[in-house]
Every structure is written in C-alpha cells, then in structure tokens.
Chain A
Amino acid sequence: MMKTRIKLIASLIFVSILFVLSAVIVPKRPAHLSVAGETVTVREFDGCTIGGVSTNLSDESVRMFLDGYFGIHLGSYISYERFEDAKKALDNGLVSGIWAVDITAAKLTQSGEYVALSPAETPGQGQTNFSFGFAFAPSNRELRDQANAFLAGVPLAHQPGGTLTIGVTGAVPPLEEVDAFGNANGSSLTLAKEFASYLGRKSIIVVLQNDSALVDLMAGRVDMLATYGTSENHSLTETKYLMSDGYQEISEYQLIVRKEGAEKMQGLLNAIKENLISGGAYRLIFKAAFVSLAIFLLSALIAGILSYVLLLLSGIRHKALRNLAGGIIFLLKSTPVLLLMLVLFYGFFSSRHSSFISAIVAIGFYGAGMLTGEFLDKHIEVPHSFNGKAVLSLLTSRSARKIFILQLQWTTIVGYLGVNDITQVLKTIGNRTLYPLFSITCSILFYLIVVLLLEWLPCSDKADPKH
C-alpha cells in the first residue's frame, strides 16, 4: 500500500511537470506570410511551409507536386489526417498556406477569412482539368458500369438488394466532410447514397483516412470511394482502379492563406480549453478511452486463454506437440506487435471492423507468447484438467500482471490501422490545436492511471523478498 502511494505521488509530480511544460512549449512556427489584401502571389511562398490533407502520395511527393504546379520552392510540407486539421494548422500559423481544389477553396473564401491563390499558369487553364467521381476496385467493373448508368440517368433494369459500403475521407469539402466525431456529410456522399438507393441496396458509410483509402478499396473493406480524381486524360496503360464518369469538374488547385494572419494562443487554461473542451473534444476523448480499454481487455482475454492452452501443450508428454508449443511461443514472443498487427490487417481480415479486430488479436497473441514464456521461465505448472481456481490464480499472479501492463502499453500503436484510440485521438487533437505535447501528456496520464489501477489490484502470489 505504501509502495502504491509512492508511485501515485511520483506519477502526479511527473504529470504535473509535463502539463506545465506542454502548456508553455508550443512548436516553433515559421514566419507567417503577411497577406496584404489579395495582391499576394504564389511566388511569395518560396521557402514557406505548406500543409494539406494527407494523400496516398508521400509528403515529399506532394511537396514536389506543389513545387512543380505552383512554380515555387517550398521550405517544407506537412500533411494532416483530416482537411479540418490542415485548416486549423493554417488558422494557428503552423503553416503559411494549405492546398485545396478550387471547389474547396471557393467554400473557404466565402467566409471572408481566407484568400485563394491560383498558380500563374496551369495546363488547360480555366478549363476542366479533371473531375471527381466514384472509385472502384478493378474487380468491380459491373458496379462501375452501374455507377455510370446512374450518373447518366439511365434507369436500372433490376434491383439486386444487399448493401453498398461507401468509403469517405473528408478530404474534399464540401463534396465530403468528416467532423471530429467521425460523422460524414457532403454532396458526394449524398450522391453515393442515392446511387445505393438506385441499386436497391442499403448504404453503409465507412470513414477512411485519405492516405490509405485506395488500399482499403483494394482490400475490399469498402465497395467504392465516394470522391476520387478521374481524368479523361489518362495516359497510364495499367488500370490500378476504376473510375466512374465525373460528377464534379475541377479546374485547378489553389493555395489558401489567411487574410488576417494566424490566431495566437498560449497558456495552460487555453491548452485545456482547446484540447479537452472546445468542439466537444471531451466526448471524443472518452470514446477513444473506451476503445483503448476495450482493446486492452479483449486482448488480455485472448492472451489468458491462449497462454493456458500453450502451457497445457508444453506440459504434455508428446514431444512433437511440446516442440510445436515451444515454436509457437517463440514466434509470438519474437514477432513485433506492430508487424503482427499489419500482417493480420492486410492479410487476414477484410471486414470494415478489421482494424479493431487485428489490433485485439495481435496484442492478444503477443501477450500470450510473453505470458507463457514468463510462466515457463518461472516453472509454474498448470493442472492438466481444467481447474478454475488454478487458472484464476495464474492470471492474477504478478507475472501475469506485468504482461498485461505490457499489453496495455502496446495499445498505443493501434492508430497505425486507423483505430481511434486514446493516443490517436489526442495526437490528432494536438496537431490541430498546436499543443502536441499537452495532448500527449493527457495520453500518458490516461495510461498512468490505468497502470496504477492494475497495480492496485490484489495478486495471488507474494512479491519475491529478494527483489
């Protein structure tokens, strides 16, 4: 009890220091481009930092594209997971401008707060350069043809029923937007839903990250993407994905800058307000905390069951089965959790909940490997017939608790698969509010609390007096 109290006090001191630091230390901001009316030109962006929503191109490729398109030499480029995050970065002065297609720029400039700058020249200036349409996997040619018929207003001969899973990313407001709570809307989405009705199917909306949306489409997690770039001028000979006819014509990309410069903000209260309260952030954080805990508890359950089975196998006389168990334990212990998670995500699960399932299974497998190894190292024996009391005793041992805490810590990586856990959500909030350190500290606090809770739970065995 005494030790727990010391840990609690130490944790509180650590977190307090982090909070104070994180509220004071904000990222270094580049010199902001001053916009005198609308006379500023794209050439003035030489050496500046530009932001934008993430795409399936690398940041370096996007930077190269922007350099070539606008005829400038950017200082750096930062991508954001959501368009809203990029806009917020512009508002806060983290970036000097953000790129957007003309329709998005037109929407933003309506408020009077922003100026949209066109490149001095583009191929086909003033004309349609490309369109947005629906994207399909190459195997879904029939669905693409039906989309073209729908867009052309051709009645459908038969209505097959079923569901149509529509992927949206929120990368092109107002065609599609996704708010902080994952609610999607926009004209493309409305059109996609009408297409589902046209087919007689029930529409299911899945929010995707823009940079991996095509991968999700190819993996069959969604039937179509509501908004992707099509072009009549397609010179590639290899068909990587299928596009419907366009429904929204685009002339050019533009750079958006703020008219009045960036908002200024600093201070602990401001950090709390911006990160934890504004825009209902607390609801999002609670939801994410629940996701993290669910992943932890379910993966711990898998670890417990699997380790029990492996221990049983390790204890039997049959040599081949014993060796097999040993091999599996080695494999599970040695494979990095992130890689195991990616293998499961890209190789085995293709449902729209696959990221969540992959995360649970991967962390569970890892925990099972570690837990079994720990028991074997300590020569803890398992009764050959099922004995609930003995199993409970094993799972509430100090060794098990150590592994469960490890599993809890590994849940921080599930954001790689697009799971909105506590780390991912707070990281996104931090990017948007320019208080990344503050939001990460909040994340650390969450994990400290859960670890303290786990430490506080009673154990079936006593601590080794030698340690």
Chain B
Amino acid sequence: MSTGVSRRKLSLRIGAGIAALVLFAALFFFFILLIKVKGQFGYLYNFFVKTDGSLPVSTYETMEPVSHNVPYAVPSTKPERFLASTKLEVEGLIVTDYQRPAPIRLDESSVNLLSAHMGLLTFRGNYARTASSYQSVLDSATRLKKSWSFRTGRFLKDDGVNYWSGNGWTGQPIAVHWSNEWKAVMNLYPTACQKSDLTEIIYPGMDGKIHFLDIETGAETRPAINVGMIFKGTCSVHPTYPLLICGSGDSATGLFGEQICARIFIYSLIDGRKLYEFAANDPFSTRSWHGFDSSPIFAEEADTVIYPGENGVLYTLRLNTSFDKEHAILSIAPEQPVKYAYTSYAAGERFEASENGNGSGSESSPVVYDHYLFFGDNGGIFQCLDLNTMKPVWVQDLLEDINSSPVLEQDADGKWYIYVGTTLKFHYDTHHIGEAGIYKLNAQTGEIVWKKPYAVHTVLGLAGGVLASGASGCGEIADYLFYAISKVPSVESGYVVAISKTTGEEYWRYELPCDAWSSGCLVYTEDGHSRLVQCCGNGDVLLMDTLTGKVLSKVSYNSNIESTPAIVGNRIVVGLRSEYIVSMEIH
C-alpha cells in the first residue's frame, strides 16, 4: 500500500517536473520571440505565418512608341497626374524655366564608363547599372575560397546610443586600375605605387572613413581618409580625373547633443584632400531628413555631377575641373548647384506627418541616357527628367518605396527598358503583409510592361521586397534577370530569383534562410556559361549556376552582408556589418 502511495507521489513529482520543464521551455521560446519582435506583439503573427510568396505576373497594354530613343509622356504617365508641384533653384534663385548653358549629354560609351581608369567606378559598374563585375570571364567558376580580410570600425549614431558598423547597403566597393601616370602623382604608399598591376579598392564605410586597399593582398595602398561621417551607399569616381564623390548616409551627433547634417563630399585622390562639400541642411529640401545613399553620375562632357538626395533634392553641380599636370594639382571650382525638387500626390498620402510634409527622396542610384535621368523615390514615384531643362518628361507611380536601383537596357529591337523593384512600405494589411514587385518599364514612355509581384512581410521598420538591384544577363542568359527578394515567404527568409526579361515569369527560384539586400553579381566562364555571386544576410556568399539556381559553392562569414560586392577578375571584395572588408577568390 505504502509502495503504491510512494509510486503515485513519485509519478506526480515526475509529472510536475515535466510540466515545469515544458512551461519553462514555453516561456523561454516566448521570450526569444519577444526579443525577435523587439517587444512589439503586433509582429508575432509574422513569425508564424508564411506569405503566398511568388505571385502571378501582371502584364499591361502599352502604346506603340511614336519615335525611337526620345522619351515622352503618354496620357497615363503625364507628370501633372502624379506631381503636385515642382521647383527649381538656379544660382540660389527659384526659377520656373531653365536651359543648361553647358548641355549634358552622355553617349553610350559615357554611360558604360569606358574610361581611362579601368574598373568599377560607380554602383553596378556603369550609369546603366548593368556591369555587375569587371573582367570576369574566368577559366572556371565552381568554387569560392576565402582570401584576405581587413578590419574597419564603427561610428556613433545620431541617437547617441547605437552605432553604425562595417559596411552597409548599398556599399559596393569601387575598384580602379590606375594608369602609371596617375599612380606617379598620387599619395600611394611606395609598394602600391610600384605595383604594375595594382587594382585599388576604394571603400567609404560606416566607420566614417574611406579605406584604400590592394585588391590582391588587402594591404592599405594609402592612408585612409577620416571623414567623420558615415557612408552607407556607393561612391563614384570620375571617369577621367582621380576625383571621388561620396555622400553621407546619416547625420552625426556630438557630445553636447548637436546634430551635424549629412552632406556630399568631393575628394582629390591625388593627395586625399577634400575639395568641396555641399547639400548639408538644404532649405530647398522638401524634407528635414538628409541622407545621400545614391551613387552619383559624372556627366564628363558637361563637367557636371548629378546626385539625387534622400532629402528630396536632385543636385546637378558643374565642377569646372582643372588639372595642373606640372605640379600635379587637381582642383575644382564648383558653381552653385542647379536643384530640382518636387512633391507628389502619392507621397503626400503615403507619408506620415512626422516625415515633415509630403516630400520624398531617393536612396537608389539613378540611370541615365543622353540627357535623360531615370530615378525613383521612397514615395513610390519613378520619373524621367530632362537634365538640360530640369523638367520631368514622364512619371510613373510604382506604389511602394523604390530602394532598388533601376537597370537600363536596350533590347534586340533597339527599344529601351528599365527594370526596377520595390519594397513594401505603404500598402500592407493588418498583419504587415503586402506586395512588393519587380517592374519592367518602357523607358520611353514610363508605361509598365509587366509586374512580377511577391507577397512579403514588413516588420520592425525593415521593409520586405527588393532592395537589391537586378543583375542583367548576356550570352546564354540574355533573357535572364536576377534579383534577391527579402522577407518572403517567411519573415526570416528570402528568395533569389531568375526571371524572364520578356515575360516576367520565373525561370527558377531559390529560397534563402535570411534576407538579401546585396545585389547579385554575374561572372562568366570562357566556355560561355555564367555564375551568380549572391551575398546574404546570414553571412553566406553563394556561387550559383545561373541556369538552374543550384548552389555550386558557399563560404560563410557569420555576419550580415548588406553590401554589394565588387568583382574584378576572379576576386570578390565586400564589406561586412561585423567591421571587416573581406575578399574571396573564384576558382
């Protein structure tokens, strides 16, 4: 009898112990979830539910172009349909009409940056954003191998508590193969100067510095420039002169609570001297928020730089560049910038009051052809602007935040198209789920040709959808367009997709266990095949077969990679959020 009682007691105790363990595990799991949603219960749903992921393609009727290569608006893309107002500042004065005295014109070689310094001089290699690698036709490409790493740092955020670290989005390194003539007058270290095949990595980062590294060894090629402001986006180097232009992505704080506004800097790469800075705290801006993540464009013939800002202002600045060859002094005498800003009906409705009015700005990098600039903003407006009159030609509403930089490409028939993606910021349901898409636009009229939507999550201020720029294939993958999509179908996963440029339909889709803000880069093999290099939010770098989406090789850094890599030959260089710039080789 007593044995029976003690057994019952024992069973009860074991039961109670198991129940306590289960309760403890449940509480622990709940606590982990709370950490994931940062204490905001409204997002718990997103961590349990998958979206529908890939949605059917929508195709649209477009009008037959009346002429080739000259953009114009059709009734559905008339600027007045979308823009509530536009304004223009010339020489410090507000004007209604303008004609640029030194007209901008970028021919095909200027757009493709077939320049004196060879390499990747801007985000995605050229001003059509189609060169995702440089000189990357390889014997074979089946394996990734880790190479050198370089320690960077961090920078205090303007809230005085958190910090920016390493390299961020879009953060593509610039890679330049300087001529011996330029190397001889630059402040390069002797070993770098003497290296005949030196390719220099120029990398502004979120530690407030611009680093200069040898792509082969990771050794510093010259002293880093300490700017004292952070860089998230991708800088640009002048096609002819060693001029660097980069914009800060956030303001800086100080020890007495002061805020130092983000701005754009121009540096001489001969001696690392700052030549000019502008766009700080611009009263012409339609927003109080200033940030400059776009990768700017040098219109070489007009000696003018074109820079859209997140403050809602498009700056065009004539530099009046001169180079004293005898004394090796590079100088500029910038004129006052010509500024364009606008407000849109859509952004007015979509932005909250805290965004200070209905202004919206650009974080993505623009594309250009001739004297037409194509750019999107974070209110969903995509437009074509005549750079010589600074008037909008056509406007399209893509409904969501345009973070992905457009890709401008001519098809076999000679027609120009733009491929651009969106991130979910405005039109989500009560569970923070909605559509983000990839669009094909007719570059002449702004009409939508097709839209490939994805059902994504947007949580905790991090938008799902397309932050990466498209990688456009050629050769056997001429109809392929590669994109990374974040927070789909689960809040902690993403897709890498290959879609048809013609139809928008998927060729293949690969599910990632994380976000991917980094843009995919293409390399080719001598036998005509190609590979996609995709960096991921969990620190993985994937080498993928472009025809099947099969992962051929993978290396892992266990750190978020937001930046887009620079690939020169078989070398990959990319910055991590964990304060390292790393290099890999493709074999």
Chain A interface residues toward B at CB < 8 A: 52, 55-58, 61-62, 64-65, 67-71, 73, 99, 101, 119-125, 129-130, 132, 171-172, 214, 227-238, 241, 253
Contacts and interface: CB of A to CB of B under 8 A. Distances in A.
B92 interface: no
Contacts of A123: 227-229, 248, 252, 260, 263, 265, 277, 280
Given A68-B155, A69-B228, A121-B228, A61 B260 contact: no
Nearest to B230: A68
Interface in B114-149: none
A400 B263 CA distance: 67
Given A71-B226, A231-B258, A237-B355, A64 B277 contact: no
Contact of B252 (A68, A70, A172, A232): A68
B161 interface: yes
B259 interface: yes
A171 B254 CA distance: 14
B156 A68 contact: yes
Given A70-B226, A71-B224, A120-B226, A65 B259 contact: no
Interface in B239-253: 248, 250-253
Nearest to B248: A123
Contact of A233 (B159, B209, B281): B281
Contacts of A67: 153-155
B257 A122 contact: no
B377 interface: no
Chain B: interface secondary structure?
A: loop
Contact of B288 (A129, A229, A235, A241): A235
B229 A253 contact: no
Contact of B225 (A57, A73, A121, A171): A121
A242 B251 CA distance: 19
5 contacts: A57-B160, A68-B208, A71-B226, A228-B256, A237-B355
B156 A61 contact: yes
Given A71-B208, A73-B153, A65 B258 contact: no
Contacts of A57: 156, 160-161, 255
Contacts of A237: 288-289, 354-356
A234 B226 contact: no
A192 B40 CA distance: 44
B510 interface: no
Nearest to A73: B153
Given A68-B155, A123-B252, A123-B277, A235 B226 contact: no
Contacts of B153: 67-68, 73
Contacts of B156: 57, 61, 64-65, 68
A101 B257 CA distance: 13
Contacts, number: 128
Nearest to B227: A121
A356 B481 CA distance: 70
A196 B483 CA distance: 63
Which of B163, B250, B260 has the most A CB atoms < 10 Å from its CB? B260
A50 to B, nearest CB: 12
Nearest to B226: A71
Which of A56, A57, A73, A233 has the most B CB atoms < 10 Å from its CB? A233
Contacts of B227: 121, 123
B253 A65 contact: yes
Interface string B349-368: 00000111000000000000
A237 B225 CA distance: 30
A69 B256 CA distance: 14
A124 B289 contact: no
B277 A124 contact: yes
Given A61-B156, A61-B160, A71-B208, A235 B228 contact: no
Contact of B260 (A56, A120, A233): A233
B542 interface: no
B189 to A, nearest CB: 15
A57 B252 CA distance: 14
A415 B225 CA distance: 43
Given A65-B156, A71-B226, A237-B355, A125 B274 contact: yes
A318 to B, nearest CB: 40
A66 to B, nearest CB: 9
Contacts of A69: 208, 228
B256 A229 contact: yes
A61 B164 CA distance: 12
B104 interface: no
B254 A130 contact: yes
Contacts of B289: 235, 237
Contact of B158 (A119, A227, A230, A236): A236
B256 A55 contact: yes
Given A57-B160, A68-B156, A237-B356, A229 B258 contact: yes
A64 to B, nearest CB: 4
Contact of B254 (A58, A125, A229, A236): A229
B289 to A, nearest CB: 6
B261 A235 contact: yes
A31 to B, nearest CB: 23
B280 A124 contact: yes
Nearest to A65: B156
Given A56-B160, A123-B227, A125-B274, A232 B281 contact: yes
Shortest beta-carbon contacts, A-B, top 9:
A71-B226, A229-B256, A233-B261, A229-B258, A130-B258, A231-B258, A68-B155, A233-B281, A235-B251
Contacts of B224: 71
A235 B290 contact: yes
B256 A130 contact: yes
Given A237-B288, A237-B355, A237-B356, A119 B226 contact: yes
Nearest to A52: B255
Which of B257, B277, B356 has the most A CB atoms < 10 Å from its CB? B257
A347 B567 CA distance: 58
Given A123-B265, A123-B277, A125-B274, 17 more contacts: A61-B161, A65-B156, A68-B153, A68-B156, A71-B208, A71-B226, A119-B228, A123-B227, A129-B258, A129-B260, A132-B256, A171-B256, A233-B280, A234-B261, A234-B288, A235-B288, A236-B158
A68 B227 CA distance: 8
A413 B31 CA distance: 34
A71 B228 contact: yes
B29 to A, nearest CB: 31
A228 B255 CA distance: 10
B288 to A, nearest CB: 6
A46 B295 CA distance: 32
B258 A121 contact: no
B254 A65 contact: yes
B501 to A, nearest CB: 39
Given A120-B226, A235-B288, A253 B262 contact: no
A253 B248 CA distance: 20
Nearest to A227: B256
B469 to A, nearest CB: 26
Interface in B285-303: 288-290
B259 A235 contact: yes
Which of B227, B251, B259 has the most A CB atoms < 10 Å from its CB? B259
A227 B207 CA distance: 29
Nearest to A70: B226
B235 to A, nearest CB: 16
Interface in B87-133: none
A332 B107 CA distance: 81
A119 B225 CA distance: 11
A71 B227 CA distance: 8
A231 B253 CA distance: 10
Given A68-B252, A71-B228, A121 B260 contact: no
Contacts of B260: 123-124, 129-130, 231, 233
A101 B255 CA distance: 9
Contacts of B207: 68
Contacts of B258: 129-130, 229-231
Nearest to A130: B258
A65 B207 CA distance: 10
